Structures are given as structure tokens and as C-alpha cells.
Structure 1
Amino acid sequence: MISLPRPPTGGRANWCRERVGRMLEDQNASARRSQAAAPPPQDNKASRNDGEIDVLEIVFKIWKGKIQVMLAMGIALVLAFVMLLNTEPTYQADALLQLEENSNALALPSEMSDLLGANDPRSVTEIEIIRSRLVVGQAVASLNLDWRVEPALAPGFGTMVARYNLPVIGAFLPVRFARPGESLVLQQLTVPPSWLDTPLELTVGEAGTFTLATPDGESREGRVGEPLALPDIGFYLTVGRIEAPEGRVYTLMQVNESAAITSLRDRLSVSERGRSSGILDLRITGADSSENVRALNAVLNAYRGQNVSRSAAQAEGSLDFIRQQIPQAEQTLRDAEAALNAFRQQQVSVDLTLETQTLLTSVTNIEGQIAELRLREDELSQRYTPSHPTYRLLIEERTRLEARLAELRAQVGELPETQRQIVNLTRDMELAQQLYTELLTRAQQVEVLRASTIGNVRIVDTAAATLNPIAPRRAQVLMIGLILGMIAGIALVLVRNALHKGVQDASEIEQLGLPMFATINYSPHSDTMGKRKDQQPILALERPDDMAIEAFRSLRTSLHFGMLDAKSPTLAVTSAHPSAGKSFVSTNLAVVAAQAGQRVCLIDADMRRGQLRRFFNLPRSQPGLADILSGERAVEDVILMGPVPDFYVIPTGKYPPNPSELLLRAQMRELLDWCGENFDLTILDCPPTLAVTDPVIVSREAGATLFIARHDLTHPKEIDASMKIYASAGLRYNGAVLNGFDPRKARNSSRYGYAYGYRYEYKQRTD
């Protein structure tokens, strides 16, 4: 049993005034020292400009969360690197084509060039021809690009496992999944129409055998190099080579022709180098470099073949047309000669004058030219429309010649009858002879042209593959991953700060209607609270010169004047949530008050999760407040002397199952009355207000209530909610303390997060 010293004779009031006088003298120097430690007055403009964006504040927030940003960047960089390893590279093959101006490579006469109607290369047209189904389809058919052979890949990182030798990972994967250096080559694959685009699962067996699972639900055995045929349904399969161990699984599939052509066309790009250069750049991309080269060469050969065939077909068509006209021209010539001879025999002899002979020659030449133009018009009509420039030039030339012919015929009409007849007959014969000779000449020219046709396309560079893959670009992917990681990290920091924004200065608390008693600066030596399970240091004893202790001395003075009208010298200390520093403030305030000559009693009123015992190295089984309120112990049996004179402690005792009910008992009022008679100041460390109702019960019996807010941790809405809880009970906070103020973090959110959901249950002791 502890014997408490009694107040001196003369009454408690006189004794308190003497003690307070001495205390005030000591506080004058402490107040001046703590004034420098107090936070500078805040500019009220900041509160008025809450809606404005403070770029500097955002920068400070990002800088304070640089660890999270760097961590996000590191994670994004690792993910980008893993994605690169798990992405199959894409290679490219390219080639060059030249579209020549002439449709043949021989130095042929100009008449033959006119016959072919040679024009400048039309790159746009040729590009579309290269990408046509005619050309691409021939390439697909020649290389069997409608066959698909794909190994079974492990889920997630199958491509990486199939590309790199990873024995650690490969040892845990099933044998069906592909490993590096394995392949399967087909020699033949023909499936019935109903099996197109349907996967066939092939499982590698031992000694060159395999098992094929077909869509009809059957499994068929086969051997490498030997056909596996189902003639009744039109299925044929020949595996040329298997380089894989037993148990590997491959998927075989024959896609329809349209899908194969579309797939190759999507991989093929054709563009012209420069403007009107006639040089076409062909490129094919794909995962297999050698297959890209073969596919591009197949496209080149197919395009060149159709180009040569098209030129030869044009020459063959012209030759057929000329051959059809030769017999008719020959018969026309014979008829004209016979008519001329008959007229001469009838008239015995007719001599033409020089003027008439010249007129006859002009008419004959013009009619011959018109006949030639009509022949060319028949040929051009097979290739061009009347709106084509070449066709229109021919029409204009024929119109001009026909007008000139009409003038000459008018002159012939003025000749004497006999001379006019002989002129007409001679003209018909010479015209027929000229046409017949021209047809024979053109037939010979086209024969030479058909034999020398090589097309108007020249392959400048055959297909060649690039040494390095064109995708994915490692540096670009890593840089993008780094940037995305930085953006994600910054967004995480800003969102976290936006969702959690604690009070930054005392003015925010005062705006809520709470008077500020003190601002306690952050002390790094107080961070041990909550991190150690053994005894916690009392800052006022271990570091009495700390800046935070000066603030406690200022708080001691403020409380004296703030409690002059209190009904009892008892102070309830509470907060809105855990981790605000109630126990830290209560303990150090009690020590500082005791050092000033006051008799102080510190009571741990948190009978759910009280932690004051850790400041005094008390066991959990130490009797305390719960034992007093339950009637099991007297106050003299549980009160303990503190580490300084005139300082006493009552721990929480064992955690009871009904703390709120115990606080409502009369023993609580009797305990506080006893403390008011024997101590100058009694401090009750209460639970958080938003967690339980215990602090409201204690504050109803106490003389004053002090609210503890943690800088950058306690949200203004939590303070407001706590005040409303007290107001609903007819109570109020007498003042507030801003704990843990750190000027370095005054413009950005706290770096140490917390998480609680107002779940503040008592802990039943097991020992």
C-alpha cells in the first residue's frame, strides 16, 4: 500500500496558488524558448486558395514519394524486360523492282513501239497488281503458306521458355510444352473441306513415330517420312522431319485459301522509292527470317511471270487479229487489179497526165494512212476505251486525214469521166496493195515481238533478310516501360495524397472551432513508439532539451489557464483515431508537469488497447484501472510511483470484456474525486473518439478534455466528426494539440501511411 503525501495545512487552494506561482516563473523562460520552436503563423490566403493548383506543392509531394515512384519505375522496367523476353521477334525481308518504260528489251522499230502503245510506268497500278489475289495466291500455293505448324506453349511465359534455355523453369513444366531448338517440318497436308481451319493435335512419339488426334475423335499413328492417308475423306499427311523429344505436342492446321492470302497480304508492303522513279520497294515481315525470304521471292516470281504472260498475250492477240485481216486484204487487192485491167482493155489505152498522176498518188497515200489508222483503232479498242489519250489522238489524226481526202476527191470529181474512172480504179488497186503489204510487214514484226517478250519488270535486288529484328525495339520498349512506370508511380503518389490529406497547420484546426493549446514539433526520437515491443522511452526524461519538450512546457502553461474554471483538475486526453500520439502526449505532459512541482497522476483509461505500461516497463498482468472499477482492488493497491517525484501512475489493468460499462459505474466518479483531492493534475489517456464511446463517458466526469491531432495524419473531417459526437452528448473539447508537426512535410502528405477502419476492439488477456 502506497502512502500518498497530503496537501499542507492552509487548504488546497493556497497550496496550489503557491505552486502555480513558482511554476509560472519557470514557464516564462520555457515559453520564450518554445516560441522559436512553434510553427510560423500560416497565411490565411492558403485556405482561401484551396481551389487553385499549387504546382510547387505537387512537386514536393512527388519528391516526397520518390521512393514509391522509383519502385513503380523498377517494377515497370522489370515487366517490360520480361515482356521483351516473352515476345517473339519480328524480322523483315526486302527486295527492289524496276518498272521499265518499254514493254520489251529489244531495240525494235518505232512502228512496233506504237503498236504496243508503250506508256510511262504506272506505279500505283503495279502496286495493286503485286498485292492482288493473282500474285499473292500463286506465292501461297508455291510455298504451301496455308499450312500452320505451331508448338504447344506454356501458359503465360511459353514464348520465353521456347526461345531461351531455362533449365530451372523447364524442369517444372510438363513435357508437352516446347523448348528451344525444336521443330517439325511437313511435306504434305491435305484436309477435307470440313476440316479447314480446324486444329489437329500431333503428339511426338518415340523412334520417329507420332500420334495424330483428328476432329472426328479418332487417334491415328504415323511415322516420319511415310504418308498418313484417309482416301475416303480426302486427308493426306506426310511429316518430313521431327526434331523434338517424345511427348512434345504440335498443332497442325490447314487454313482456307482466302485466309492464307489475307495473312500474307497483311505482311506484305509495297511502296515506290521517290516520285515517279519506277522503283518499287517490297517488304515482308514475320517471325521466321528464312520463310520471309522465300515468301518474298515467291511474290517476285509470280509478279514477273504474270507480267511476261500479259505482254506475250497482248502480242499474241495482235498477231491473231493481223492474220485474220491478211486474206481479206489479199482478195481486195486481186479484185482491184482485175477491175483496173478490165477497164484498160475496154478503153484500149488511157494515159494519165502529170497533174492527174500526182493527184492519184496523194489520194492513194491518204487513203492508205486512213486504212492503217483504222487497223490500229481496231487493235487499240481491245485494250483501251475511247477516252484514253492514245485512242483520242488516233481519232483526231484520222479526222484530219479524212478532211484532206475529201478535198482531193473533190478535185478528182472535176476530171474528165475517163480519167476519173482510171484514177479511181488505180487508186483502189494501190490502196489494196499498200494495205496488204502493211499487214504482211506487221505480222512479221509481231512475230519477232512475241518471240522476244520478257515483260517490263526487272528485279534489281532479290529478297534478303535483315540481320536484326525490327520488332520489338528493345530500347524503345524499355524506355516506354520506364516512362509508364514513372507516370504510374506519380499517379499513385498523387492519388494517395488526394485520398488522404491530414491537417497541415494549427489554423486548420482553429477554423473548425477548436482553440489550439500547443503545437508539438516532430521528434525523430519519438518514432520508436509502436516499433518496439519492450519499454518505450519517455522523451521528457531522456532528451529534456528536445524541441518537442519545449512545446510540452508551453502546453503545461496553456492548460493551467485553460482549466481555471474546470470543475476538477482532471484532464481527459483523446483523439479521432489511433496513432495520433495520445499516450506520448499524456506521458510527457505528466512528466513535465511533475517536474514543475505539480503532483500528477496519470491514468491509462484505455481498457481495450492501453499501452501506457510500455513507458514504465510494467507487465501486462499489472493490476490497474479495470481492477479498481470492478471492485477487486483499492486505488491504494494499484497506484504506482512514477520515474520523477510527485508523479504517480495507474495502469489499465487486465482488459475487461465490458470497458464501457465499467466506466459508467460510480467507482469512476469516486476515483476522479479522490484524484482531485490528492493531485494537482490528473491525466486520463482515453481511447479514440471515432472508435469507441469510452472517451465520451470519461469526459463527462473529467474537468476538461484535450483533443490530439496528428500532423498530416488526422483529417479535418475526422476532427469535425469527433466534435459532433461530443456535441451530441452535450460535451465539447476544451482545446486541441497538433502533435508531430514537421516543417519539412508542411506542404505535402505524410510519407508513412496508416490504415485503420475504426476497428478498436478490446484484447482479452490470456496470461
Structure 2
Amino acid sequence: MATQLIPRTEPIQAIPAVATREDDIDLPNLVSTLADHKWTIAFGTLLFFLLSAAYAMLATPKYEANAVVQVESRPPTVPGLSTSSATPMPPVVDAPAATESQLLTSRRVLGEAMSELDLDVSAKPMRLPVIGDLIARAQQRFNPGVLAAPWLDLKQYGWGGERIDVAHLKLPDALMDVPLRLQAGEHGRYVLFGPDGQQLLEGTVGRTASNGQGVSLDLKTLVAQPGTRFELRKFNPVAVISALKNDITVAEQGRSSGVIALTYAHEDPIRAREVLDKITQAYVRQNVARNSAEAAKRLQFVSKQLPNVRRELANAQAALNAFQTRTHTLDVGMQNQALLNQTVALDTNIRQLQVQLADAGSRYTPSHPVYASLAQQIARFEGEKGRLQGQISQLPDTQQGLFRLNRDVEVINQTYANLLDQEQQLNIARASAVGNARIIDPADVNLDSPAWPKPMLILAVGTALGSVLMVALVLLRQTFRRGVEDPIDIELLGLPVYASIPFSARGRQIATQPGRRRRDGRQRLLALRSPSDLAMEALRTLRTSLHFARMEMKNNVLMIAAPSPGVGKTFVCANLAVTMAQAGQSVLLIDADMRRGTLHQAVGVRSEGGLSELISGQITPEDAVRKVPGTERMSFISRGAVPPNPSELLMRPRFAELLKQMARDFDVVVIDTPPVLAVTDAAVIGHHVGTCLMVVRWGLNQQREIALAKQRLEQNGVDVRGAIFNAVEKRGSGQYAYSYYDYRALHEAPARR
């Protein structure tokens, strides 16, 4: 990988723009990323599978009740209700299923079902958390109807077979929607406790108990072990109706078919069927009531008119009798009978039309065509009546009086007879009214197959969801990490990559071996413990590159820097120094990170008596330089005691003199420095070295971070010669462009079958 370096002719004033490659989708890289995290994905998927299985086992089953209602589009018929030709029929409008669906779940219908079934009262036994419901269901499956004995003497919980039926519960507003605790006793006795544990009342099954403070309770049934606790709650009726409306599904079967299917799921299959039964029955009853409302309204009007007409008839008959007695007349003469019949017919029609006009006035406005037509007919009959009145006025006074009184009696009598006939017809109509809705399939429940949970569906969805989430998590983590994963990204910053060191699982294992305090004196050097590791082969390549590059440098001091902590800089320094020593060079390894240096742990020596004491003059170079066991030509200076002013110590002239002396005494001096972006120590040390390399960790350091560290060193006059790409993992296409082949000695290779 050759990269042309552009020499810098003037100080850098700002962070240069980071050159990046196009963010194309690399499918092989994507697949490789998922393959490298296959165990994470598999573990997450398995976890979701187990959680789904646990949910399928522990979830309380819900049984679904189904019912079908048909709404016909024909207009509702009211048997026995005759319609006058003068009154036009209302237009026939098909009742849409959407409207009927809203009526099915209206508060009036649901409220009737709630009142009949006491849905606003909840009473259930308390179960052992998490697994109590599962145990109770299993007990009832193997011993149906049998009251289970408590487990582990936990008498406060119900273990299966408990039954409670609340006949009546009255609570003050302060206790509405508040869970109360009912504890079963012996011989049907019980005690009701409030939310704070205070006793509200004590009673017996079958008798209403009250505390005189607005709390009363009547239990019809209580089957439980003594000491079993129940949760008792009375809900707000409006909230119950709202929840019931959300739980009931209403859908039309086919477009404009008028067939409506209802479904309702509940833990108790009997309760689910009863609720749907009550709702459908209440809907049909109210549908009939809506359709017979016209007959009921007319009957109410006729019933109000009958007493008045009866009273008028009695008065008219009394007046006729009194007139005949006073004038000694018996009846209207034959010559005037035709005139009387015409007058009676007109008055009868006028009275009937007036009754219809009053009825129409309660339903229509005066400008309505029906109302206007009736008014016009009355006016026409009144005109004809006026013409007959002119003929009657020519009769003698006695004949006029007798004529008038007979007419009133006949008219009122016919009107009364008509009203009686209408009352009978309307009574029949109201009693025999037929609606346009009927129940096709009554509510029923499949007790053998709960609607929920569906184990196979839950397992399939849970496993698929787990796989998708884990894949998304891996890709999201990879996206947000955004660390460099290709040496080309580093070389675009003007840093040639001297070596790509593959990730060493053996090196991590050695670094984390016991003892955990890391002060046990054990060496943790991969170069000595596993010299054939691929990471060591990469370090040997780096050693070769540095051997030739160092000939052009001002001295033999090599500084290893890093942008941030955790990149493996100490690992590179220690093992690179060992490889150089194994090549026959005398090497001095210096831990210049006097704040948090850990090279002494890798070498297996104490940190005291090191660089900080040497610079401050507390010890001599002979006391500070220590031989590293296992290597003949490698020495080591630890960081020393942590000083309060590491940067100031490094800026003392004594530090520069010590480096010059060590450079004369050893072939190579390798210095491990603190992170560049954290402190300024690396910039101070860099003035005294001949070569500076920066360690970049695969997948951790971002391009901008590397560019900023390089800029900070160069602003202080430190030339960064190149980079060491550490902990490289294989990824996607082009991975062998910067990886190393496993080419071990023949006796270490696995036997070929």
C-alpha cells in the first residue's frame, strides 16, 4: 500500500478536511458483519424465542364469543296501523351497516348488558405472582371443579377452583375504582378490607352486610379455602362501557349485505357468551321499540282525546234530550233527513281531519306539504258546511234547534267510535310491531380453542422479531461506531500504514489471565508466551520496516503514540520491543505514561523506582533500568510513582539528557506515551525522538479523531511517520489485502486426514 506523502510547508491552522470514500453499500461487508456477530444474533433470537414461549405459557387464555345479526333494508312494518291516503309515507331509506354497528355498541345497548350482568363489579382471587394463573389453570384442567389446597402454606393465594359471585355491591364515590381486599373465612364468612388495610365490614354469604357508611355487600357464592384473598373492585360505569366498546368487534360480512358479525374475547368463556347474548338481545329489543315508536306516539295522542270526546258526546246527548222534552219534538222530519246526513258527514270529516292535523302538527311544521294539505281539505269542507248552514237557516227555529243538536250528537258519536277503533288498532300495532333486525346466530364460544394466545403464532412472531431486532442492533451499532476498518481510510489522511496487526484472542487471554490484581510478577507478553501468533508475525514485519526507516532518522529513539486510550498501544510497544531484542538488538523500553501507564504489568515488575524518580533525581539510571526476564538484550524503565506534574517533569532538561544517554547505550529506545488527545505529554516527548508512529485501533478510532491527533503533534513540531493498524478483524471484501495468512511451522499445523 503505497501512499504519496505531501510535505507540509507551513503550520496547520485548522483541521484539514477528512477525505473519505463514497458510502456505497458493500454487500459482502454487510454479510461479513452479520457473520461475525452471528453468536450475538443467535443469542438474542434464542432469548426472544424463550420469552415468547414463556409468554405463551403464562398468558391468561381469552375465549372469543361470536354472534351474527341481520339488518334488513325493508321499511319497518307496524301491523294494524292504517295510513290515511292524505298522509304520505316517509321515504324508504336503507339502514347502513355502519349506522347499525354504532347502535350495537351504543351506551344504551351496552349499558343494559352491563346492568344485567353487573359488569361494573370485578371479583377475582389473588394469585401467586407470575406463575399463579398457570398453576390454577393446570389444576382445573386435571381436577375440574375441585378446590385446590394451598401450596407451601401460602393460604392467602388462590390455587384453583375458587368461585365468587357478587349479588350486590355499593360503595361511596371515594372507593370507586379502588381495589378492595376480601378475605374468606370459615362457614361462609368473609371480611372486607379497604385500600389501607382497614376493615370495612364483615358478613356471611347470602346476607347483605353493611357498615352504615355507604358500604354494603351481598355475596351469592363464595367457595375458597379459609384465608384466601380476593380483589374486589367497583368500576365507573362510563369507563366500563367505554372499555366494553373497545373490546367488541363489529364488522359487516360482505358489502351492503346487512349481515353484521360481533366478536368479544374474555378470560371467562361463559362471561363472554353472556355479554354478547345480552348485547344482541338488547339491540333487537330496542330496534323493535324504535320501529313501534310511531304507533306508541299516536296511541298516546288518541288516549288523550278519548276522554274529551266522551265528555262532549255526553253533553250533546243531554242537550238533545232536554230540547226534545221542552219542545215536545221527537225527531227530524223526513224532508230534512238528507240535509242532516250531509251536515253530519261534513262535520265528521272535519273532525277527523282536525285530529289528523293535530297529529301532523306534532311531527311537521305548518309549511310541510302534509300539514298544508290537511289544512286545505278542512277549509274546503268548512266552505261546503257554510253553504248547508244557509239552507238550515231557512228552517223554523224549532227545526233548526233540533237539527243542530242531532247533528252534534251524530258527529261526536262517530268521532268517538273512530277514536275507539284507532285505539284498538294502535294497541295491536304497538304489541305486534316487528323490527328490521334479527339474530341469525346466537352468541357461542369454542371452549376447546382459546382465541389467545396462539402458541405457534407467538413463537414465530417472537423469533422473527428477535432476529430482526438483533440484526438491526448489530447494524446500528456498526453504523454509529464509525471507526476505521480499512487502512485506506488512514492513508487518505497522509499516514502510511506500516503494519496491520490482526486481533489476537490469545493476546487478550494472556492479558486477562489470573491474578486479577496484575501485581503477581507474571509476564503478559505475547511475544514470549505465543511467538507464533499472527499478531507477532505482523509485529516482526513492523520491526523490519522500522529497521530500514530508522537509518534516515536523527536518532534511534522510537515513540509510539495513540489518539485515545484503549487502542492497544501498550501491547504494541511491549511486544515490538521483545521482537527487536530477539533480533539481536539491545532495546530499552520506557513507560513514559506517568499517569496511567501499565507497561510494568505486561513486563511483570513493580511500577515504583521508574521514570518519575529518575527525572526528579531520586534514583540513578542504574537503579531505574531493569532487565526483562526471558530476553537477553531487553531492558525496561517503569513509569515510577505517579507525580503531581508529569508534563513539567518531561520538560526538564534532565529528561532530554537521559534520552541522549540511553540512545548511546542501546541500539533502540522504545517509548510508550500517553494518548495525544488527552494530555500534552506526547507532544513534549516527540521533540526528542527520531521516529513517531501512531497506533490506530480497528473499528474504534474515527478518521476525524486520527486527523486531529496527527495535527496536534505536527503543530508542536513532531513529525508522525506513519500508523500501526491494530486489532484488525476480517471484514467483507478485500480483507486479505491487509490480513495475514496462517503460515505456521509444520509441526504446529493440524494433522491432515
TM-score computed with the length of structure 1 as normaliser: 0.67
**Secondary structure at 2:561 match in 1:** strand
The answer as to whether partners of 1:154 and 1:173 remain within 8 angstroms in 2 is: no
What's the CA shift string for 1:228-250, capped at 9, x where partnerless? 63374454333333333343322
Equivalences for 1:553-572 in 2 at 5 Å? 553=541, 556-557=544-545, 559-566=547-554, 568-572=555-559
Partner of 1:14: none
**Cα gap change, 1:159 to 1:427, in 2 (>3 Å):** same
- CA distance in structure 2 between the partners assigned to 1:547 and 1:252 by the alignment: 69
**Partner of residue 289 from structure 1, selected from 269, 279, 289:** 269
Aligned partner letter, 2:374: R
- Tell me which residue corresponds to 1:385: 364
- Is 1:713 matched up with 2:700? yes
Q: Which of 110, 118, 133 is 1:144 aligned to?
A: 118
User: Which of 173, 177, 180 is the aligned partner of 1:200?
Assistant: 180
Secondary structure of the residue that 2:232 maps to in structure 1? strand
Residue 499 of structure 2 corresponds to which residue in structure 1? 519
Number of equivalent positions:
684
SS at match of 2:587: strand
Alignment of 1:494-573 (within 5 A): 494-510=475-491, 512=493, 515-516=495-496, 518-520=498-500, 522=502, 527=507, 530-531=510-511, 533=513, 536-538=525-527, 542-543=531-532, 549=537, 552-553=540-541, 556-557=544-545, 559-566=547-554, 568-573=555-560
Structure 2 residue corresponding to 1:603, chosen from 573, 586, 589: 589
- Structure 2 alignment gaps of length 5 or more: 6-16, 141-149, 514-522, 736-753
Q: Is the 8 A contact 1:60 1:747 kept in 2?
A: no
- Write the distance in 2 (CA, Å) between the matches of 1:271 and 1:329: 58
Q: 1:62 to 1:210 in 2, by over 3 A?
A: same
Q: Choose which of 65, 69, 76 in structure 2 pairs with 1:93.
A: 65
Looking at structure 2, the residues matched to 530 and 79 of structure 1 have their Cα atoms a distance apart, in angstroms, of 37
CA separation of 1:745/1:203 partners in 2, compared to 1, >3 Å: closer, same or farther? same
Q: Is the 8 A contact 2:253 2:260 kept in 1?
A: yes
Q: 1:262 to 1:740 in 2, by over 3 A?
A: closer
- The answer on whether the counterparts of 2:66 and 2:443 sit within 8 Å (CA) in structure 1 is yes
Give SS of 2:731's match.
Answer: helix
User: 1:708-742 CA distances to partner (integer Å, 9 max, x unpaired)?
Assistant: 22333333454445446645765443443334555
- Residue in structure 2 matching 1:398, options 374, 389, 393: 374
Find the aligned partners of 1:320 and 1:627 in 2 and give their Cα distance: 116
SS in 2 for 1:93: strand
User: Quick check: 1:650 aligned with 2:635?
Assistant: yes
Note if contact 2:613-2:640 (Cα within 8 Å) is conserved in structure 1: no
Residue 648 of structure 1, CA deviation: 1.2
1:385-442 deviation digits (Å, cap 9, x = unpaired) = 348xxx95644653675587589789989999989x99x9899998777656544543
1:516 Cα shift? 2.3
Contact 2:501 2:538 in 1 (8 A): no
Asked whether the 8 Å contact 1:623–1:638 carries over to 2, the reply is no
**1:149 to partner: Cα distance:** 1.7
* Structure 1 equivalent of residue 474 of structure 2: 493
Q: Deviations over 1:485-505 (max 9, x none)?
A: 456545543553454333344
How far the C-alpha of 1:649 sits from its partner, in A, is: 0.7
Verify the 8 A CA contact 1:94 1:283 in the aligned structure 2.
yes
Per-residue CA distance 1:150-203 (angstroms, 9 max, x = gap): 44456677766766679xxx9799654454443433234334566555543222
Letter in 2 for 1:574: A
Instruction: Map 1:364-763 to 2 at 5 A.
Output: 371-382=351-362, 384-386=363-365, 394-395=370-371, 397-398=373-374, 401=377, 435=415, 438-446=418-426, 448-449=428-429, 452=432, 458-467=438-447, 468-470=449-451, 481=462, 485=466, 488-490=469-471, 492-510=473-491, 512=493, 515-516=495-496, 518-520=498-500, 522=502, 527=507, 530-531=510-511, 533=513, 536-538=525-527, 542-543=531-532, 549=537, 552-553=540-541, 556-557=544-545, 559-566=547-554, 568-578=555-565, 580-582=567-569, 585-586=572-573, 599-605=585-591, 609-611=597-599, 620=605, 629=614, 631=619, 634=622, 638-639=626-627, 648-652=633-637, 656-657=641-642, 672-673=659-660, 676-677=663-664, 679-686=666-673, 688-689=675-676, 699-720=686-707, 722-723=709-710, 726=713, 731-741=718-728, 744=731
RMSD, aligned α-carbons: 5.9
**Contact 2:611 / 2:624 at 8 angstroms: preserved in 1?**
no
Secondary structure, in 3 states, of the residue corresponding to 1:376? helix
Counterparts of 2:531 and 2:196, CA distance in 1: 85
Distance 2:342 2:336 in 1: 18
Q: Which amino acid aligns with 1:93?
A: A
Separation in 1, partners of 2:232, 2:582: 89
Q: Which residue of 2 aligns with 1:30?
A: none
- CA shift, 1:452, in A, is 4.7
- For residues 559-603 of structure 1, the C-alpha deviation after alignment (integer angstroms, 9 at most, x for no partner) is 53454241x32323333345544455456655776787x634242
Q: CA separation in 1, counterparts of 2:66 and 2:84?
A: 35
> What is the CA–CA distance in structure 2 between the aligned matches of 1:528 and 1:265, rounded to whole Å?
61
Q: Contact 2:354–2:378 at 8 Å: present in 1 too?
A: no
With over 3 angstroms needed to count, the CA separation of the structure-2 counterparts of 1:459 and 1:717, relative to structure 1, is: closer
1:242 aligns to 2:222 (yes or no): yes
Closer, same or farther: CA 199–674 of 1 in aligned 2, 3 Å: closer
Query: Secondary structure at 1:538's aligned position in 2?
Result: helix
Cα distance in 1 for residues equivalent to 2:376 and 2:574 = 120
- CA-to-partner distance for each residue in 1:456-505, whole Å, 9 max, x for gaps? 76444333235455556666666665566456545543553454333344
CA contact (8 A) 1:621 1:654 kept: no
8 Å CA contact 2:539, 2:579 repeated in 1: no
Percent of pairs with identical residues: 25
| Contact 1:628 1:634 (8 Å CA) reproduced | no
For the residues of structure 1 that align with 2:250 and 2:127, how far apart are their CA atoms? 33
Question: What displacement does 1:652 show?
Answer: 4.3
Per-residue CA deviation, residues 589-634 of structure 1 (Å, 9 max, x unaligned), is: 55776787x63424253676555886xxx75479996699464783
* Mapped contact 1:364–1:430 kept (Cα < 8 A): yes
Contact in 2 for aligned 1:73/1:482 (Cα 8 Å): yes
Residue 464 of structure 1 aligns to a residue whose secondary structure is strand
CA displacement at 1:517 relative to structure 2? 5.8
Moved more, 620-629 or 133-142: 620-629
Whole-Å separation in 1 of the counterparts to 2:612 and 2:240: 86
Structure 1: unaligned runs, 5 residues or longer: 1-37, 749-767
Indicate the residue corresponding to 2:191 in structure 1.
211
Q: How far has the Cα of 1:650 moved from its partner?
A: 0.8
Letter in 2 for 1:317: Q
